[in-house]
Amino acid sequence: MVSQKEIADATGVSIMTVSRALRNHPDLAPATREIILRKAAELGYVSPTANDPRRNQPQRIGVLVYELGSDGTNRLNEGVPRRIFSAIQKECKQRGVEVLIEALQPSEVPLLLRNKTIDRAFLFGRYTPETLQRLNGLPVMAVSSYIECKGLPRIIADNEGGIREATEHLIRLGHRRIAFLGIDENEFTEIFHSRETGYLATMCRHGLTPLSRITRHADGPLDLAPFIKTLSKATAVVCATDFLAFMLDFELRRLGWDLPRRCSITGFDNVERETGNHLTSYSPDWSLMGTLAAKFLLDHLEDIRGENIRLVVPGELVVRQSTAAVNPS
């Protein structure tokens, strides 16, 4: 069977352009469409859904959740993934699309795929390049993803921009000695590297010297003591996640620090805490992320299939009590 890639190679255009021509997409020059359609006919291209008896059946879409939590629950029970999934489910329900969830380890082949229950899926959690190989060409979109894989469309938060906003907020409050607290989690570091880049870029833009940061591996203990020892040089800390920010806040208060007077702290994710949330944090629009993910995977499957597309969802900095103007003393 002739593939869209073969047509793209024969005409010198991208697979996305071929897909648009075959679907009579309006945003394509008539001359280009004609060339592609002529070549498709010459090669004997047949749409893969032309003889598919399932095409009139209710559509099903999968949500593949990788890495179970320590308590045996999957990531969709957590605050941020739950918000994203709720938006996905709402958009799919409005369209009459059934959403099926499977929690699994990266080394597993999804049962939904083996049973041919779904024809596309969202990826949540800690997938790997090897994970994608096990999906055997299933069209997927990674949601709030950890790592970048070739040919994998992704939708993510504005990681660099969010940290820039947090750092700029501290600078406007008069802080000049601002530290960054991040994580090194082996191969799952792309998000944290992006957030660190936002911090470094902002500090350099203002002619400020970046201060030390903590790193740890995914399986190692989180020890904030070495980082806290460096805070005599800082009046504020930009944390890569709310989890780190809450941990730092707890440890500093335990040591008797007067926060935020002695040290302002910002986070990223705007997660909820049972004890209340006093943290200034960058809040990506998680509901918008879920809605857009559903729309793209349902409406633009052929446009994004196999493409290194990265959709960035905006957000806003939510200012609370964990930040204050720099203490002049």
Count of structural domains, the chain: 3
Q: What is the DSSP string of 165-187?
A: HHHHHHHHTT---EEEE----TT
pLDDT of residue 48: 60
User: Residue 20: pLDDT above 80?
Assistant: no
pLDDT of amino acid 158: 94
pTM given for the model? 0.77
Going by C-alpha positions, the residue among 173, 191, 161, 201 that lies closest to residue 283 is 161
CATH code assigned at 193: 3.40.50.2300
Residues 148 and 75 both lie in one domain: yes
pLDDT digits (tens, 9 = 90+) for 75-98: 677 778 889 999 999 999 998 899
In the predicted model, is pLDDT for residue 55 greater than 50?
Answer: no
Judgement on whether residues 171 and 264 belong to the same structural domain of the protein: yes
Pair 89, 128 in one domain: yes
CB 322 within 8 Å of CB 264: yes
Query: Tell me: the pLDDT tens digits for 204-242?
Result: 999 999 987 766 654 556 788 888 888 888 999 999 999
- The parent domain of residue 226 ranges over 159-283
Domain assignment present for residue 51? The answer is no
**Beta strand ranges found along the chain (DSSP E):** 60-66, 98-104, 121-125, 140-143, 154-157, 178-181, 236-239, 264-268, 280-284, 310-313, 315-318
Condensed to tens digits (0 to 9), the pLDDT of residues 134-146 reads: 888 888 999 987 7
* CA dist list (Å): 37 to 2, 11, 159: 13, 10, 40
Do residues 184 and 230 both lie within one domain?
Answer: yes
* One domain for residues 205 and 273: yes
| 329 compared with 103, residue with greater pLDDT | 103
Q: Are strands 98-104 and 310-313 parallel, antiparallel or unpaired?
A: unpaired
- The per-residue pLDDT of the chain, averaged, comes to 84
Same domain, 255 and 277: yes
Statement to judge: residues 31 and 102 lie in one domain: no
Q: What is the mean pLDDT of residues 251-260?
A: 94
Q: Are residues 83 and 169 in the same domain?
A: no
Residue 49 lies in a domain: no
Q: Are residues 180 and 229 in the same domain?
A: yes
243 and 266 part of one domain = yes
Looking at the structure, tell me whether residues 293 and 278 fall in a common domain: no
Q: Give the model confidence (pLDDT) of 259-309 as tens digits.
A: 999 999 999 999 876 556 799 999 999 999 999 999 888 887 777 777 778
Q: Which residue has the tokens 């939904």?
A: 112
Same domain, 294 and 151: yes
